[in-house]
Amino acid sequence: MAFAHLQRINNEARCRWPQPRVIHINSETSKHYSPRATILHRCDEGTGCCEEDFMVCSVKTKATVELPFFVKAVGSPRASPQMLSLTNHTECECVSLSAVQQTQRRKRSSQCLCPKHFSNFSNALNWHHGTSCRCDCHLNDATCQRLKNGEEGFSMSERRCILYNDCSPPICNYGLYNSHSGRCPRPQQRHL
């Protein structure tokens, strides 16, 4: 029975083909997308097994797919159809965990990682085209809004994350994020 189970896993659960996953589409602060999520194929640790403990299932090849969504601007009574370009994984492979970690460290400065309380509004929509990250607030997140307005400073861990390019700087309401002070400028600092 154990041998039969081993064969079944080798045949059915091998890291080879991506599996469907529900991927949530990040709404921009000025737009809402419907549906709020779609199904794309992904390669990850839950997709398939690798024979060695030091190997993980990762994407080998990917393709861009165009999917239709309804887009509604905040304050607008109507939604209009729009095609969004999203990334779909097409083939998986086992890679060494250390290679994945090294790749992640090299790419970290260009990845869309946002400070705590901020959300990446470009991830699913624009990031794969090489556009920069857009770390912004959801309208109903009061803590994020205070940080964005310069009413509060960022924690030391978030400041280090931004300083070392592990996180992208946030979008501020009154100018650019100040890495020296670790905060967004306040309204009265705009003209200084």
CATH number, domain with residue 48? 2.10.90.10
60 and 113: one domain?
Answer: no
Section 69-98 average pLDDT:
87
In this structure, is residue 5 part of a structural domain? no
87 and 18: one domain?
Answer: yes
15 and 80: one domain?
Answer: yes
Counting residues of the chain whose pLDDT is more than 90, the rounded percentage is: 26
pLDDT band at 174 (very low <50, low <70, confident <90, very high): confident
84 and 22: one domain?
Answer: yes
Section 166-174 average pLDDT:
88
Check residues 99 and 159 and name the one with the higher pLDDT: 159
93 and 121: one domain?
Answer: no
Residue 69 CA to residue 81 CA, distance in Å, equals 6
pTM higher than 0.95: no
Question: How confident is the prediction for the chain on average, in pLDDT?
Answer: 81
17 and 83: one domain?
Answer: yes
Last residue of a domain, one of 79, 98, 117: 98
Helices and strands, number each (H, E), in the chain: 4, 7
State which residues form the domain around 41.
11-98
What pLDDT sits at residue 91? 94
Last residue of a domain, one of 98, 126, 154: 98
Residue 130 CA to residue 171 CA, distance in Å, equals 18
Counting residues of the chain whose pLDDT is more than 70, the rounded percentage is: 83
pLDDT digits (tens, 9 = 90+) for 128-139: 444 467 889 988
In this structure, is residue 83 part of a structural domain? yes
User: Which residue reads 């469907």 in tokens?
Assistant: 20
Residue 161 CA to residue 182 CA, distance in Å, equals 11
In this structure, is residue 81 part of a structural domain? yes
The length of the chain in residues reads: 192
Q: For residue 77, is the peptide bond before it cis, meaning its omega torsion is within 30 degrees of 0?
A: no
The number of domains in the chain is: 2
Residue 43 CA to residue 60 CA, distance in Å, equals 8
C-alpha of 175 from chain center? 24
